[in-house]
Structure 1
């Protein structure tokens, strides 16, 4: 009797396992059918009925293989899951990104970089640019896309001469050297809200080469100067002065981008000058070179 009872329990477990396996296969088949229909609707390939067979023991066609990371369709073409794409240029519509911009600043004075002996000369590696953007890529037609978005940025201009001081007059901005201190840091910082529109040619939808050229505009939301130094008594000092410093409240410029896969470079050139036109100040046009993450 005990033997029969054990045998009955074993048979029940086997039957339950077979039923469960068939249910899982049917669910997998349903999931595969849904993926195929989605790819067909996106225009990747034409779905045929024989691909999806109700025979649970049949093998699928070599034309379609599904994995967690990518989908491989006829002639070896690859269709990635959007979650695995760092930079995705859609066949139609708009794709959204959150990007971080990191770069280095300088400026041109009368079309040239300031001489290293100039009081306006900057420390290249300490004159940084940091931006956070909500970017979009919209397909226009063919290989043409529009890269557009909005964000905020902070630009730091760190003077090579750490005793440089920015002096604001009633209608002027001038730069002088504070000879009585031992300078450690001298910088001018400004922040903006920005918009950009960059027509871009992409030689593919996924991990491909792309190049763009367009423009941007911004509104200044803050600016200050900051000095670190040792005074005449050798005491460590730090001064920070918030002001508009006659920096142009609005700016606009030209942007060029080039990229491949997840890697993009950008160059910004301000067509507006750093300081307002109607004041007496050096004529400086900021330029930024950096990477988009």
Structure 2
């Protein structure tokens, strides 16, 4: 959304500039823009200096640097900001002088008119879009990151007293999908080998019965029964909202930018995560497509089917980069208070996208 807004602003300014050129408007409009920018320079650079000094004092407080080093860094930051003010002001002063002594509609070959971080050249062509965020001082140490989690794969159930090979659910037809948002926080101060990962996810677990059967709820009992016609599709979808929590282990690459900031990156690195999740069921629905005596039908039945209200389980993944092999197992039963206990199990591919 921010990028769209920037480009819309750019188009508006570009059209405005073309209109100014066509009408040979007075240079006063452009001079006004440059003077406004000049007035903001000192305040902007001083704000940046305050942020840098705050970061240095935080490092001193945490014992990462000595008091002598902190004083040296503060002096260096002050010198840099003072020179920035001097140089940036001089550039705008020269541009203003150039416009003031020339006729209206004058454009230097290399002149760029900027306002609110958007720049356009003489002919109205795009030069640069630079938001205020790009000028902000980076935090010296960033310990928490966020990412989108997407997982997809095969779904089935482990049934008490039965071998997995005898599952009443189709192996390839029963699938799961997970979509979530996660935060990842470095656990230790001076190493990124272990990270604490937490967030929330929507889990969609699907079960497709075999042998022309479908789910039937009779009071507190949920069972599989043979359909009277020909079932083209029979699928139970259980949707859960959960909070996954993992401890993630693995190497990372450390990048240091002088004394300004440092970052740890797990890009293209091996990762192993282990943990679990807990949440609650937010919906259960059965889809049926069938043929009875030559007539085709389709039903979507939204019903509880005695699915467990509270869900919790264990999960783990092994990854390289953003892709991982992912497994999760519900410790809570699929259907509560049943004579035979069934637990959902899933295996698939997971993507953690920063």
Q: Normalization by structure 2: what TM-score?
A: 0.55
Deviations 1:193-214 (A, max 9, x none): 1101101112113221111111
Q: How does 1:148-163 map onto structure 2 within 5 Å?
A: 148-161=198-211, 163=212
Deviations 1:87-107 (A, max 9, x none): xxx965211112222222111
Q: Following TM superposition, by how much is the alpha carbon of 1:160 offset from its aligned partner in structure 2, in angstroms?
A: 3.2
Deviations 1:214-248 (A, max 9, x none): 1101200000111111112x111112211110011
In the aligned structure 2, how far is the partner of 1:171 from the partner of 1:106?
A: 22
Query: Residue 146 of structure 2: which of 85, 96, 105 is its match?
Result: 96
How many residues align? The count is: 236
In the aligned structure 1, how far is the partner of 2:200 from the partner of 2:310?
A: 15
Query: Does residue 1:136 correspond to 2:187, yes or no?
Result: no
Query: Residue 246 of structure 2: which of 198, 208, 218 is its match?
Result: 198
Deviations 1:49-80 (A, max 9, x none): 8xx9x9xxxxxxxxxxxxxxxxxxxxxxxxxx
Q: Which runs of 4+ in 1 moved over 4 A?
A: 40-43
Q: Following TM superposition, by how much is the alpha carbon of 1:265 offset from its aligned partner in structure 2, in angstroms?
A: 2.6
Query: Does residue 1:247 correspond to 2:307, yes or no?
Result: yes
Q: Contact 1:196–1:215 at 8 Å: present in 2 too?
A: yes
Secondary structure in structure 2 of the residue aligned to 1:244: coil
Q: Following TM superposition, by how much is the alpha carbon of 1:168 offset from its aligned partner in structure 2, in angstroms?
A: 1.1
CA RMSD of aligned residues (A): 4.1
Deviations 1:16-45 (A, max 9, x none): xxxxxxxxxxxxxx9xxx9xx89x9799xx
Deviations 1:121-146 (A, max 9, x none): 3242x322122211010111131110
Unaligned runs of 5+ in 2: 1-44, 60-68, 84-139, 253-263
Q: Contact 2:149–2:350 at 8 Å: present in 1 too?
A: no
Query: Residue 224 of structure 2: which of 164, 175, 185 is its match?
Result: 175
In the aligned structure 2, how far is the partner of 1:129 from the partner of 1:210?
A: 23
Structure 1 range deviating more: 132-141 or 93-102: 93-102
Deviations 1:250-292 (A, max 9, x none): 111111111121212321011111110x2345x2111111322
Q: Contact 2:274–2:316 at 8 Å: present in 1 too?
A: yes
- The residue that corresponds to 2:13 in the other structure is none
- The residue that corresponds to 2:290 in the other structure is 229
Unaligned runs of 5+ in 1: 1-29, 55-89
Q: Following TM superposition, by how much is the alpha carbon of 1:114 offset from its aligned partner in structure 2, in angstroms?
A: 4.5
Query: Residue 330 of structure 2: which of 265, 270, 286 is its match?
Result: 270
Q: Following TM superposition, by how much is the alpha carbon of 1:185 offset from its aligned partner in structure 2, in angstroms?
A: 0.6
Query: Does residue 1:121 correspond to 2:182, yes or no?
Result: no
Greater helix share, structure number: 2
